[in-house]
Chains A and B, each alone.
Chain A
């Protein structure tokens, strides 16, 4: 029973490689890692170019490493989240839809192990990607901007990891609750938007895990962080796993 998690992890990782999901994620991470500091650095030039063709005089404040980090966080928490949903939505629902989940169901393994293997494999993929992204982003930002707080930036990436993990676990769990990948994707997207809207409010909005995005900036600036969005992140992760196991244990393949 205990060895099963190992063989299931092999299955998830190999599938991730052969379906190009891991490649895609790493590529996206490299892109954002490079593009964020680069676009921040050249933003005045780009704006100036537009300004000169349209005869508008633009006064710009000087760009700093803060703009680079800001871009980095925005890219990952916005487009990165959508890509994460896209990559994780078929995780369980896809296997239900094509019938391959039954291959596991008739064998002596519990749904707990199946789901945990999926989540651990996803976690490994996110850590690999963000590790690479943080590295290249740090290299570029260090080169382009003065005074970049490298250690704080590396620390802040742990919060980014948590943010993407919430999205990933939420999507995987929804994928376990429905029968089609598209349904899981849309549901996850919807929930994420609800949390984002909630997060843009004051007061209770502090309890939305999407507020983790601003915590990342706080860390880089060396300011203290609020624990409120963290509590919501943990709750969403635990709640969706619990929900997924509950639905999955009652699931029966249809004809």
Chain B
């Protein structure tokens, strides 16, 4: 069932077209990654979904409706009242969403431990570190059990340990809600998301579930590493002559598509033997989201 439906949303600022007709569909219970370089329109779309800004045209619905109640939001640079304690902030949020005191207290208790901030619950938010703010940010976004949580670059500003902790936390959220998170860090998206959309220059370039995407868009590669750079160069020239597609990755390493490698296996091996080219190693490289991303972003800039 579609949880988020976005129908050709555009957003124009005075001189810039931040979004040029974005349509997306997110299924219930997924962790959806929204990927794109800085300035591609990620934050703009998330802010529209969070009711912070109005789209110039187009519409969206969350579970068929358009209610703030159904949405939890964590901004890219979250700003909470520094004079409140974390517990007060969550209580304040609960009341604003119309939860009863009993529900709120129970939920706060749950979330403080889920997000690992029990010990600092009664400290003022102004004294929190970046990582703690982000964890509190997730707690305040899911407190009222929204149908969708919008996370704008939730881990990008953190150090590696903080990032890992936040991502682990996010991966646990799919049990209770649908997550829509943006990031420009491919690794993060690949680590937690089930499905991904890539946005560039205000338009969606592709949307697919992570496995299919990695399998279909990025082919695994075989890399051949040589002792001497000259061997690598020679091998590249020889294989090219046999019309095998070869790319040079480093001065002593070349890569061949796995399918090509399998189809032309004997020819490749013979070439190596005939010219006494010594391999140092032979590896299979699995495709990463980065390959897909680079491929698509490059394709656009060439077009």
A–B touch (CB < 8 A): the answer is yes
Most chain-B CB neighbours within 10 Å: which of A105, A107, A109?
A: A107
Q: Is the CB–CB distance between B97 and A99 below 8 Å?
A: no
Q: Is the CB–CB distance between A108 and B69 below 8 Å?
A: yes
Q: Is the CB–CB distance between A106 and B73 below 8 Å?
A: yes
Interface: B53 (CB within 8 A):
yes
Q: Is the CB–CB distance between B95 and A3 below 8 Å?
A: yes
Q: Is the CB–CB distance between B96 and A4 below 8 Å?
A: yes
Q: Is the CB–CB distance between B83 and A108 below 8 Å?
A: no
Chain A residues positioned under 8 Å from B83 (CB to CB)? 14-15, 18-19
Known contacts A99-B79, A100-B80; A253 and B69 CB within 8 A of each other = no
Most chain-A CB neighbours within 10 Å: which of B43, B67, B96?
A: B96
Interface: A104 (CB within 8 A):
yes
Chain A count of residues within 8 A CB distance of the other chain: 24
Residue of A nearest to B72 (CB): A106
Interface: A62 (CB within 8 A):
no
Q: A110–B71 Cα gap in the complex (Å)?
A: 16
Q: Is the CB–CB distance between B97 and A253 below 8 Å?
A: no
Q: A12–B53 Cα gap in the complex (Å)?
A: 25
Q: Is the CB–CB distance between B80 and A103 below 8 Å?
A: yes
Q: A122–B75 Cα gap in the complex (Å)?
A: 29
Nearest CB in chain A: distance from B16 CB, A: 11
Q: Is the CB–CB distance between B47 and A253 below 8 Å?
A: yes
Q: A100–B52 Cα gap in the complex (Å)?
A: 12
Interface: B271 (CB within 8 A):
no
Chain A residues positioned under 8 Å from B93 (CB to CB)? 103, 107
Interface string of A5-26 (1 = CB under 8 A from B): 0010011001100110000000
Q: A11–B93 Cα gap in the complex (Å)?
A: 11
Nearest CB in chain A: distance from B247 CB, A: 38
Q: A107–B54 Cα gap in the complex (Å)?
A: 15
Interface: B98 (CB within 8 A):
yes
Identify which of B53, B75, B96 contacts A107 (C-beta below 8 A). Answer: B96
Interface: B256 (CB within 8 A):
no
Q: A100–B68 Cα gap in the complex (Å)?
A: 17
Chain B residues positioned under 8 Å from A3 (CB to CB)? 95, 98
Q: A243–B84 Cα gap in the complex (Å)?
A: 30
Interface string of B77-103 (1 = CB under 8 A from A): 111110110001000110111100000
A201-255, CB < 8 A from B: 252-253, 255
Interface: A78 (CB within 8 A):
no
Q: Is the CB–CB distance between B98 and A102 below 8 Å?
A: no
Q: Is the CB–CB distance between B52 and A253 below 8 Å?
A: yes
Q: Is the CB–CB distance between B79 and A100 below 8 Å?
A: yes
Q: What are 28 A-to-B residue pairs whose CB atoms are below 8 Å? A: A1-B98, A3-B98, A7-B92, A7-B95, A7-B96, A10-B92, A11-B81, A11-B92, A14-B88, A19-B83, A99-B79, A100-B81, A102-B79, A104-B96, A106-B50, A106-B51, A106-B52, A106-B71, A107-B93, A107-B97, A108-B67, A108-B69, A108-B96, A108-B97, A108-B98, A252-B52, A253-B52, A253-B53
Q: What residues make up the interface of B, taking CB atoms closer than 8 Å to A?
A: 43, 47, 50-54, 67-69, 71, 73, 75, 77-81, 83-84, 88, 92-93, 95-98
Q: What residues make up the interface of A, taking CB atoms closer than 8 Å to B?
A: 1, 3-4, 7, 10-11, 14-15, 18-19, 98-100, 102-109, 252-253, 255
In the complex, given contacts A102-B75, A107-B68, what are 12 additional A-B residue pairs having Cβ atoms less than 8 angstroms apart? A7-B92, A7-B96, A99-B77, A99-B78, A99-B79, A103-B80, A103-B81, A103-B93, A106-B73, A108-B67, A108-B98, A252-B53
